[in-house]
Amino acid sequence: MCSEDTLHYTKEVALRLLKSEGQALKNLYREADEVRQHEMGDEIFIRGIVEFSNMCSNNCLYCGIRVSNKKVRRYSMSIDEIIEAAISMEQNRLSTIVLQSGELPGIRDREIGEIIRKIKKETSLAVTVSVGNRPKETYRYWRDCGMDRYFLRFETSDPELFSTLHPGCTLDERLACLDYLRDLGIQTGSGFMIGLPGETLDVLAGNILLCREIDLDMIGVGPYIPHPDTPLKDSVNAYERNPEIFFKTLAVLRLFNPEAHIPATTAFDAVFPGEGRTLALQRGANIFMPNNTPVQYRKDYILYPGKPGVDEAPEECLERAIERIKSLGRSLGKGPGHSIKTRLKEERFKV
């Protein structure tokens, strides 16, 4: 039903698929899962997130750790704490650590490099970093320290909406950072929030198309959820009355990006408690990312309310993730789970 159309990968096709209802919607979900299985297999890779600092210099209108939010108790994990978390993750059979924090350009850049080096020295984990916009030379330095991947969401493909929500930053600047990462040969992830205030279905289709144009290795998306301590506290998700659009977006992303890793993000569980991420894994996703941040810091890294797993120990989060994966008849991914796109390029280069 979608195959012939999506070969064109146009905004018009994305829009039509996003409007699927009834049997067409069932077909969309079925085909997205079939493409996922054919291109990515039945393995689900588990990647543990460590939110090592909630310090941030940005003032994004929707974010719970924005610099102007004085209600946040700020923290920054020590290098030893981060390494301890990494070693524990490997002992628990995880293969990737995702180092995530607020954005403080230049403040800890050298230290982050040392953290990457130590993780690579003391574990066999793949390392993903997600700390915002940086100069190309900083990305190069982290790559040389051993960083495997970088994740930087563009959030929206609409330049005006981006500038409104991100004071002091432009969409062009964000896209330039993604270009730097690709140029340096770093596996690159990006994505967007679904349903930002002011977003239209046309913009959403543009978001999907932009992910394909950037040629991403990983795409992370999730529903926009207003935070009570931000300027957008009284806003609602643009698709509040049509939450099925969150899964439609995931499915269309899979059809448009068959070889990209797509995680079932925690925000799906926040909107659909207990089943959101499970449904995501049945509609195109192939990555699960449990929280491995030490429990004492969890409540201070709240980007949006209702975040699941805040009170659970890392081992509990992992156990629940494994239960979900097994309930779907899927297997745990082995090895680092590097980008299929990267492997294919390397094989072509060798030939």
Q: Where are the domains of the chain?
A: 3-350
165 is written with which tokens? 């929500």
Residue labelled with tokens 């494994």: 322
CA quadruple 156, 226, 290, 103: dihedral positive or negative? positive
Residue ranges of E strands in the chain: 43-53, 96-101, 126-130, 149-151, 187-194, 218-223, 263-264, 287-288, 331-332
Residues 191 and 153: beta-carbon distance below 8 Å: yes
pLDDT of residue 341: 77
pLDDT of residue 349: 37
pLDDT of residue 118: 98
Residues 76 and 112: beta-carbon distance below 8 Å: no
* Homologous superfamily, domain 3-350: Aldolase class I (3.20.20.70)
Can you say whether residue 93 is alpha, beta or left, with left for phi > 0 and alpha for psi between -120 and 50 degrees? left
pTM confidence score: 0.95
d(C-alpha 190, C-alpha 317), whole Å = 24
Low-confidence ranges of the chain (pLDDT < 70): 1-7, 342-351
DSSP code, position 9: -
Residues 335 and 95: beta-carbon distance below 8 Å: yes
